[in-house]
């Protein structure tokens, strides 16, 4: 018997598990963290909605080593640095005609596909946010990338190395129970577009110790964010995925001009978004810093730096912010607005 599996029930996986359970799709939650798994087994899983309401479900939750049946559709929702460990568990149980959907940040399809096959690799590029509140409780929250646009979906779904086919459409149909979902033909284009958002916001929030609205309201944070965006866009272009616009609003030419100090149009636009972002919204990296957890910085700005080096593209802001996040992780730097000034040396 094949199953629908949510692997990792944190901020994003928890939302998926609750919504799919409520519509009767009977997701099996594979949760590596003992405390979270035991909370789901004991009390179920509760999602606090943006409007302040609650949705509750009681999906079956097991440990990775307890997985013992064929998986038809698996949503991978663990941190990027846990991907290979998860794949070692998943690979023997993924059905021949099943597929794995990375709901993660970064561009992990590059190393998922060699493990399970490109034809079984699908990506979900999420444009909404979520927070882990406590074991058994997650929160849905707004997104900076959607703050000034009502036309963007909640998630783009694409097949790795292929146009949107039946796999992408099937996944989008399932995810439509969670967020508005749209199949796309160029998964990696959307991945790089999201990488710009992640690189310009996540590490800045981690070093600055800022929620999303606070970041957008801070002049130093906005200035650094735009420069990180410009570096990421240059690397994306070198990788074969030039980005004409970011966040749905800003032309590439404006980003580059702002990063060069010739304009402030993007910084002003980011400042205007602050009022439309919920006061509780936090990037995933700032959530990790608050909980003294390892961050995904090596898969955001760190990845941009590594790929930039391959293409001979200088990435001084990505280099600096990555190093600073590591200093935050080690306790050498305290997250604060003042710490952001260390990015400039």
In whole angstroms, what is the distance from residue 339 CA to residue 345 CA?
10
- Which of 320, 324, 341, 322 minimizes the C-alpha distance to 333? 324
pLDDT in tens, the chain (345 residues): 469 999 999 999 999 999 999 999 999 999 999 999 999 999 999 999 988 899 999 999 999 999 999 999 999 999 999 999 999 999 999 999 999 999 999 999 999 999 999 999 999 999 998 999 999 999 998 665 554 555 678 999 999 987 778 889 999 999 999 999 999 999 999 999 999 999 999 999 999 999 999 999 999 999 999 999 999 999 999 999 999 999 888 999 999 999 999 999 999 999 999 988 888 889 999 999 999 999 999 999 999 999 999 999 999 999 999 999 999 999 999 999 999 999 997
In whole angstroms, what is the distance from residue 299 CA to residue 195 CA?
9
Note the pLDDT of residue 113: 97
User: Do the beta carbons of residue 318 and residue 199 sit within 8 Å?
Assistant: yes
User: Do the beta carbons of residue 246 and residue 229 sit within 8 Å?
Assistant: yes
Q: 190-344 adopts what CATH topology? A: 1.10.1040
For CATH 3.40.50.720, list the domain ranges present in the chain.
3-185
For CATH 1.10.1040.10, list the domain ranges present in the chain.
190-344
DSSP 77-88: -S-GGGHHHHHH
Q: What is the DSSP letter of 10?
A: S
Distances (CA, A) of 97 to 25, 113, 134, 223: 19, 15, 36, 47
pTM, two decimal places: 0.94
At a CB cut-off of 8 Å and minimum separation 6, what does 261 contact?
Answer: none
Measured over all CA atoms, what is the biggest interatomic distance in the chain, rounded to whole angstroms?
Answer: 60
Provide the H-helix boundaries in the chain: 11-22, 34-43, 83-90, 109-116, 166-175, 187-208, 212-217, 219-238, 252-259, 265-273, 284-290, 301-311, 316-330
* Second CATH level (architecture) for the domain 3-185: 3-Layer(aba) Sandwich (3.40)
DSSP 168-236: HHHHHHHHTTTS-EEE-S-HHHHHHHHHHHHHHHHHHHHHHT--HHHHHH-HHHHHHHHHHHHHHHHHH
């Amino acid at each position: 018997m094949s199953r629908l599996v949510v692997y990792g029930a944190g901020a994003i996986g928890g939302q998926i598990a609750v919504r799919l359970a409520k519509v009767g799709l009977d997701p099996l939650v594979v949760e590596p963290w003992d405390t979270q798994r035991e909370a789901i087994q004991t009390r179920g899983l509760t999602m606090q909605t943006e409007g302040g309401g609650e949705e509750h479900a009681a999906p079956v939750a097991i440990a990775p080593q307890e997985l013992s049946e064929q998986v038809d559709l698996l949503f991978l929702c663990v941190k990027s640095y846990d991907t290979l460990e998860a794949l070692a568990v998943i690979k023997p149980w993924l059905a021949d005609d099943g597929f794995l959907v990375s709901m993660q940040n970064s561009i992990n399809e590059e190393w998922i596909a060699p493990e399970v096959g490109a034809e079984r690799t699908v990506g979900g590029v999420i444009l909404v946010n979520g927070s882990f509140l406590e074991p058994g409780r997650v929160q849905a929250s707004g997104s900076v990338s959607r703050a000034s646009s009502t036309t963007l979906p909640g998630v783009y779904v694409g097949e790795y190395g292929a146009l949107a086919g039946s796999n992408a459409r099937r996944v989008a149909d399932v995810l439509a129970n969670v967020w508005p979902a749209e199949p796309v033909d160029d998964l990696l284009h959307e991945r790089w577009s999201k990488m710009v958002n992640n690189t310009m916001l996540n590490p800045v929030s981690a070093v600055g110790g800022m929620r999303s609205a606070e970041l957008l309201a801070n002049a130093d944070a906005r200035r650094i964010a735009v420069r990180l965006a410009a570096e990421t866009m240059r690397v994306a272009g070198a990788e074969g995925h030039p980005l004409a616009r970011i966040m749905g609003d800003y032309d590439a030419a404006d980003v580059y001009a702002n990063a060069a100090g010739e304009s402030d149009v993007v910084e002003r636009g980011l400042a205007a978004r602050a009022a439309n972002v919920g006061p509780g919204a936090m990037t995933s990296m700032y959530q990790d810093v608050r909980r003294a957890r390892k961050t995904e910085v090596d898969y955001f700005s760190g990845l941009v730096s590594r790929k930039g080096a391959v293409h001979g593209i200088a990435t001084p802001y990505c280099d600096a912010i990555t190093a600073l996040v590591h200093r935050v992780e080690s306790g050498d730097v305290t997250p604060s607005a003042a710490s952001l000034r260390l990015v400039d040396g």
